[in-house]
């Protein structure tokens, strides 16, 4: 095939890839100046937030500074420590040095696979959660278990069992320390890491005010703030008081939500539809800010104190773009694979 034809086919292939791209996960670098985004093709792109937000930014500033192949399947989840980027895909988690990534030396530092029940089992890892007090990482996904990994030794120290279907999301109550998990079985389970046991179960779909049988019982998003939890998915997005296991606010949105987070006196949520929703704790919709993707799967708040000039909200989902909201009230621009 002539060189020109090969180049044309490569351009067409790349255009088709971007057209069908989904960005599942995001993570901000420890310095706060870079954003990692992982897609359904196993690629991780590193964007320079400081360059894109600069008064001298050009269109090229909104493109990745590095793109590398990280996993054979989708990059479902990512988190960052003070030195490392951790990414998860089908059956394994990998560690990368931020310093080496930024030098464009994208060789994995290590890879780990939780102890699955059979060697043929390769479940997706949907969620990663850092537990700073323990210097550990919690992994959860398709095998219905939470696995705890010691970040110093790389050893898996325990498995927490209780979910009867795969797990979508995790959240940390740091003071305790306790971990919340939500999954396809419709339950939010609270785990005390000190005794490695489940201490509370909330079957959200069984509460009439939250139940939406036509959407299913699955829990797709979860966040916690002290004694409060917000969760949603098939059931309605709902604020709960954890000590009393009581739903206090049901948010009036029909579309299933895929990501939720507490921010100051607000709750931010996103899911089906292109908007980031700003909720007051009382249930009032304060703002609905449109983005560029038809559906959103991931929100990331950059609150690194080392880079206050890069304090932004980023949103990604069913497109090749990562939307950047500089003051939460509007989309300033989009980064693009």
Contact 48, 61 (CB under 8 A): yes
pLDDT one-digit tens code per residue, 216-252: 999 999 999 999 999 999 999 999 999 999 999 999 9
Q: What is the pLDDT of residue 141?
A: 96
For 228-264, b/e burial (b = at least 16 CB within 10 A) is: bbbbbbbbbbbbbebeeeebebbbebebbbbbbbbee
Largest CA distance in the chain: 70
pTM for this prediction: 0.93
Q: Is 24 helix (H, G, I), strand (E, B) or coil?
A: strand
- pLDDT higher than 60, residue 1: no
Average pLDDT over residues 171-187: 94
* Of the candidates 49, 63, 116, the residue with the CA atom closest to the CA atom of residue 309: 49
| Average pLDDT value for the chain | 94
- pLDDT higher than 70, residue 4: no
Q: What is the pLDDT of residue 221?
A: 98
Q: Is 306 helix (H, G, I), strand (E, B) or coil?
A: coil
- pLDDT higher than 70, residue 3: no
- pLDDT higher than 70, residue 2: no
Average pLDDT over residues 12-21: 80
* Of the candidates 82, 104, 79, the residue with the CA atom closest to the CA atom of residue 94: 79
CA distance linking residue 44 with residue 34, whole number of Å: 12
pLDDT one-digit tens code per residue, 64-116: 999 999 999 999 999 999 999 999 999 999 999 999 999 988 899 999 999 98
Average pLDDT over residues 318-337: 95
Q: What percent of the chain has a predicted confidence (pLDDT) above 90?
A: 88
Tokens of 182: 């939500």
The full DSSP string for 151-188 is: TTT--EEEEEE--SS-EEEEEEETTTTEEEEEETTSEE
Q: What is the pLDDT of residue 6?
A: 65
pLDDT one-digit tens code per residue, 118-169: 777 789 999 999 999 999 999 999 999 999 999 999 999 999 999 999 999 9
Q: What is the pLDDT of residue 289?
A: 97
CA 184 to chain centre: 17
In the sheet where 275-280 sits, what is the strand order?
Answer: 257-263, 266-271, 275-280, 285-290
Q: What is the pLDDT of residue 11?
A: 67
């Amino acid at each position: 095939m002539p060189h020109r034809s090969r180049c044309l086919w490569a351009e067409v292939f790349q255009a088709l890839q971007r057209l069908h791209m989904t960005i599942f996960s995001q993570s901000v670098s420890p310095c706060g100046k870079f954003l990692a985004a992982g897609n359904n093709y196993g690629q991780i792109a590193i964007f320079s937030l400081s360059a894109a937000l600069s008064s001298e930014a050009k269109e090229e500033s909104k493109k990745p500074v590095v793109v590398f192949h990280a996993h054979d399947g989708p990059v479902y989840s990512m988190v960052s420590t003070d030195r490392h980027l951790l990414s998860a895909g089908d059956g394994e988690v990998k560690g990368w040095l931020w310093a080496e990534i930024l030098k464009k030396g994208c060789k994995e530092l290590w890879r780990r696979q939780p102890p699955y029940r059979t060697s043929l089992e390769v479940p997706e890892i949907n969620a990663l959660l850092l537990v700073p007090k323990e210097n550990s990482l919690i992994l959860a996904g398709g095998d219905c278990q939470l696995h705890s990994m010691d970040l110093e030794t790389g050893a898996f120290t325990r498995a927490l069992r209780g979910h009867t279907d795969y797990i979508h999301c995790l959240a940390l109550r740091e003071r305790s320390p306790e971990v919340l998990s939500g999954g396809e079985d419709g339950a939010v389970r609270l785990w005390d890491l000190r005794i490695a046991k489940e201490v509370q179960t909330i079957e959200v779909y069984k509460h009439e005010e939250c139940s939406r049988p036509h959407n299913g019982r699955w829990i797709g998003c979860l966040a916690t703030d002290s004694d409060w939890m917000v969760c949603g998915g098939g059931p309605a997005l709902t604020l709960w008081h954890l000590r009393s296991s009581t739903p206090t606010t049901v948010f009036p949105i029909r579309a299933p939500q895929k990501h939720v987070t507490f921010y100051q006196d607000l709750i931010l949520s996103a899911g089906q539809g292109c908007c980031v929703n700003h909720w007051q704790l009382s249930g009032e919709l304060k703002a609905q800010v449109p983005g560029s993707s038809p559906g959103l799967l991931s929100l990331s708040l950059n609150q690194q104190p080392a880079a206050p000039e890069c304090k932004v909200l980023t949103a990604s989902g069913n497109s090749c773009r990562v939307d950047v909201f500089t003051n939460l009230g509007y989309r300033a621009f989009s980064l693009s694979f």
